[in-house]
Structure 1
Amino acid sequence: MQQNKFGNWIKTSITARMLMIGILIIILLIPLSYIKSLINERANRQESVVNEINEKWGNEVLLYGPILKVPYKTYTEKLVTDSATKKVTKETISNTNYAFFFPENLEINSEINPEVKKRGIYKTSVYKSTIDVSGNFVKPDFSTAEVEDNDVLWDKATVIIKTSNLKGINNQVEISLNSKSYPFIPKYEAQQNNVYTKNTVTLHKLETPLLNKDTIIVDKPSNFSINLTVSGSQQFKIIPIGKETNLNVTSNWKTANFIGEFLPLNSDKITDTGFDAKWKVLHINRPFSQEYFKTLPNLNEYAFGVNFKIPVDEYQKSERSAKYGFLVISLTFLIFFLIQSISKINIHPFQYLMIGLSLTMFYTLLISISEHSNFLKAYVIAGLSVIILITLYSKSILKTFKFPIFIGISLTALYTFIFVIIQLENYALIVGSIGLFTILASVMYASRKVDWN
């Protein structure tokens, strides 16, 4: 008798049905969480494959240099006590430090022609580039450090450049300084943690042999030129260390994305065949000086250039759509609940569970199809599949045509609404708020005649 009363209460009580639907929604959050984990796993897999391709081909190129490195002597006094006579004398100790001087003018011209590399379903952009670096140094000024000219070791000066991609260099790199050539040699340098967490690029040092003294102690500027051919991937950036820095990048890449602290000057940079971008940066535009003593600073945060990454936002859009999974399941169950309450047709909890699982299948279809196609096509195929499945299933439950058709139209409108929100960026919040308000008003209007007793 008690079991029959409980069964009749479940079938006839609106409160019992609402509790049952709430429990089912909570249960369905479990597969939704697994789906979100699957999206993150596939996104991480895509990133690891792209990084592996880039590592073998050549990583992004970040160029820092050339920089004139000049050693100089400083002196400190030390008190020395004779152990036998106890006499205290002063001893002068000589120390060798290094000063770093940036170019007066820095001109960089680069031609970069990327291509797409694939591995399985994943792809990334790689490129071969020619980089011509030219400019001049003026005679280093040690007056700010109060160093006498006699204490400057002019005959031990060198030129250094730093780059993030030694593996991708395809030629013997040398600098022509005042018509004399000096080859660059890799120099090991202990890496220090970057102060800025967003700058995780590791720079490797190339340094010349000792320069001829006459090439830098001249009254007129010392002209230099460097030619590089580099295989890289994803990005090309430089650090504007010239008192006046000019960068010109030409490419056949049609989806240019300019990044960093500075943007190109020319308005006609984008063409039908690619882009031709020009930058001009003056020393007054950046918050660092032209010379440094004792240490060379990490200036990665001031780099700028071009991003050649292939935009892959399918996983991001899938993740955003999965965040609306709770809303889709809740509103779909609410529609069935209102139909059940109005029509007095009994819907079993198992049938609610099957409908909920069908809704979660939308996201697995969306992820798998978007990996082989674009997001729009995947969204349409996954959405239509789930809408048709639930509409046909509801026909077998409700034994009529008008309610399944209404359910199909409602699901179509809901998935369309979510797709619009995913595509929007600046207006996503206001459109979503208006849409949810409209849905709430529709539910309130539809439920006004329900007998809650």
Structure 2
Amino acid sequence: MESQQSTQITHWLRESVSVKLVFIGMLTLVLLIPSAMIGNLIHERAARRDEVISNISYNFAGKQLIKGPVLVIPYKDQIEVADVNGKPALKQVERKLFLLPDQLSIKAELKTDVIHKGMFSAVVYKTQVRMSGNFAKTDLNALGIDAKQLLTDKAFVTFSVSDLKGLKTNPSLTLGSQTFAAAPSAGNVSAFTNGLQAAATNAGEIVGNSLSFTCSLELNGTDGLSFLQLGKTTDVELSGNWGTPNFDGRFLPDARQVKDKAFNARWHVLYYNSPFPQQWTDSASVLNNVSKQQNATFGVNLRMPVDDYQETTRANKYAVLIIVLTFVSLFLTELIGKRKIHSFNYVLIGAAMIIFYTLLLSLSEQMGFNWAYIVAALAIVGLITAFVSSLLKNKLKSFSFAGILSVFYGFIYVIIQLEDFALLAGSIALFVIVAVLMYFSRKINWDGGHYDKKPGVV
């Protein structure tokens, strides 16, 4: 009697649809482990790509941020100190007056190129940046300074680029009617890190009048070009021969035009949102505050047309959906065909679906994401179809299953490409899938594991 019960239990475990479903659910959860490992692998490869781009930037020139110009005028001041006898005495000291432009106009045209290193690429550019504008007549009374205190013979204009290695010519600056050569700033006298400065011995003109300036920089850079909002009015016109620009920073362009292989953008920024004062004294570190710089920086990133690692990551996030849908489809095919598929075969098919993502990652590094997805999907669908065909011994049902798999992989590809409408498309598709599963599941005998002759009988 006990032997008969044991035999019945064993037979039930083998034939029960419910037990098979529990196994499929557990297998799906187990397959999430290698899926997560592949996600880590994608991040590692992306980090390697970023490392190579950083290496190219180090050899060529990094992403450039242009800051300035700022007019700096030293002046004499007196402070009260104690003499050797402890009595009050006046001591003469030298302070600095910092003035930002009243109007700042910048024009630049980027000539881009792509540098390849191994399987990775970086976008580099050459440009000539033309800056012009003026410093308004200074309000010395507001600062408590007399014009006689100014040491105009020591005045200078300072500006900065992020990577001085990118400069291809010696920059010069025209202030008023005079032109001065620029050189790297010495010590901490500059208002910027990596600062350049040019003498401004005619700065005394600013006491009674505005003072115009022009400056031209021949510059190399990688990945992007940005500007620091310093003018009371800042106007930037930027163009380039790159079809996929990404405008970022604190301000978006007021006007932009992006074509297949070129872009043009214009910014008009007022000082109301500026985190910097238009004039101040003493502190040379005001403009080096990182958080304030972030709130006053804008420009363009020259991103590659397709980020293969980002799209591969998105595809990997849908791995659990592909696994569940494939297993459910195979399970229904098994019931319809009245041909039992062993649990171990489910494990092999699950392994094949995981291999799809390693194929996708490795191929996308060589041929791009789109072709890699097509090749990897065809390879995996072909492999699983051939395997299922040998199990079911039914070509019609095998080809039907291949069609279902192709729809699944095509559906995931479409979702990845849609981006903005991915949630909507995915939700509608899942609704349809659940409806189809409900329709077929209503005729399944969950105890016996076969279709009944009368629909709806369980």
Instruction: Quickly name the TM-score band, shorter chain normalised.
Output: 0.7 to 0.9
- State yes or no: 1:356 paired with 2:356: no
Return the alpha-carbon distance in structure 1 between the equivalents of residues 205 and 180 of structure 2: 13
Contact 1:14 1:341 in 2 (8 A): no
Return the alpha-carbon distance in structure 2 between the equivalents of residues 417 and 212 of structure 1: 69
Indicate which of 211, 225, 232 corresponds to 2:221: 232
- Cα shift at 1:29: 1.9
Return the alpha-carbon distance in structure 2 between the equivalents of residues 436 and 189 of structure 1: 64
Q: Structure 2: which amino acid aligns with 1:58?
A: A
Q: What's 2:368 paired with?
A: 374
Contact 1:188 1:204 in 2 (8 A): no
Return the alpha-carbon distance in structure 1 between the equivalents of residues 107 and 71 of structure 2: 21
Return the alpha-carbon distance in structure 2 between the equivalents of residues 448 and 432 of structure 1: 24
- State yes or no: 1:300 paired with 2:288: no
What pairs with 1:9-408 in structure 2 (closer than 5 Å)?
A: 9-78=12-81, 89-187=87-185, 203-209=193-199, 211-213=200-202, 215-217=204-206, 219-266=208-255, 269-270=257-258, 274-284=262-272, 286=274, 288-295=276-283, 296-297=286-287, 298=289, 299-301=292-294, 302-408=296-402
Secondary structure at the aligned position of 2:72 is classed as strand
Return the alpha-carbon distance in structure 2 between the equivalents of residues 273 and 356 of structure 1: 43
Return the alpha-carbon distance in structure 2 between the equivalents of residues 189 and 72 of structure 1: 19
Q: Structure 2: which amino acid aligns with 1:15?
A: S
Secondary structure at the aligned position of 2:87 is classed as strand
Secondary structure at the aligned position of 1:126 is classed as strand
What pairs with 1:408-419 in structure 2 (closer than 5 Å)?
A: 408-419=402-413
Contact 2:73 2:203 in 1 (8 A): no
- Cα shift at 1:119: 0.9
Report the count of equivalent residues. 435
Return the alpha-carbon distance in structure 2 between the equivalents of residues 18 and 217 of structure 1: 83
Q: Residues 328, 276 of structure 1: CA spacing in aligned structure 2 closer, same or farther, 3 A cutoff?
A: closer
Q: Structure 2: which amino acid aligns with 1:311?
A: P
- Normalised to the residue count of structure 2, the TM-score between the two structures is 0.86
Q: Structure 1: which amino acid aligns with 2:267?
A: W
Contact 1:11 1:346 in 2 (8 A): no
Contact 1:189 1:205 in 2 (8 A): no
Q: Residues 72, 54 of structure 1: CA spacing in aligned structure 2 closer, same or farther, 3 A cutoff?
A: same
- Cα shift at 1:262: 3.4
**1:46-82 CA distance string (max 9 Å, x none):** 1111111122101112111110112345554456795
Secondary structure at the aligned position of 1:44 is classed as helix
- State yes or no: 1:437 paired with 2:426: no
**1:260-308 CA distance string (max 9 Å, x none):** 33344456x4467734433333334645432133333345322223322
Q: Structure 2: which amino acid aligns with 1:290?
A: Q
Q: Structure 2: which amino acid aligns with 1:423?
A: Q
Q: Structure 2: which amino acid aligns with 1:425?
A: E
Return the alpha-carbon distance in structure 2 between the equivalents of residues 381 and 271 of structure 1: 30
How many percent of aligned residue pairs carry the same amino acid? 36
User: Would you identify which runs of 4 or more consecutive aligned residues in structure 1 move more than 6 Å?
Assistant: none
Secondary structure at the aligned position of 1:98 is classed as strand
Q: Structure 2: which amino acid aligns with 1:414?
A: F
Return the alpha-carbon distance in structure 2 between the equivalents of residues 51 and 335 of structure 1: 46
Return the alpha-carbon distance in structure 2 between the equivalents of residues 129 and 242 of structure 1: 22
Q: Structure 1: which amino acid aligns with 2:181?
A: P
Shifted more, 339-348 versus 358-367: the winner is 339-348
- Normalised to the residue count of structure 1, the TM-score between the two structures is 0.87
Shifted more, 153-162 versus 181-190: the winner is 181-190
Q: Residues 146, 307 of structure 1: CA spacing in aligned structure 2 closer, same or farther, 3 A cutoff?
A: same
Q: Residues 342, 266 of structure 1: CA spacing in aligned structure 2 closer, same or farther, 3 A cutoff?
A: closer
Shifted more, 357-366 versus 4-13: the winner is 4-13
Return the alpha-carbon distance in structure 1 between the equivalents of residues 169 and 308 of structure 2: 38
**1:200-227 CA distance string (max 9 Å, x none):** xx94111234x32565455332222222
Root-mean-square deviation (CA, aligned residues, Å) is: 2.7
Q: Structure 1: which amino acid aligns with 2:250?
A: E
Return the alpha-carbon distance in structure 1 between the equivalents of residues 183 and 441 of structure 2: 79
Q: Which runs of 5+ in 2 are unaligned?
A: 448-458
Contact 1:161 1:207 in 2 (8 A): yes
Q: Residues 217, 423 of structure 1: CA spacing in aligned structure 2 closer, same or farther, 3 A cutoff?
A: closer
Q: Which runs of 5+ in 1 are unaligned?
A: 83-87, 191-201
**1:238-261 CA distance string (max 9 Å, x none):** 223222333233433333433333
Contact 2:183 2:198 in 1 (8 A): yes
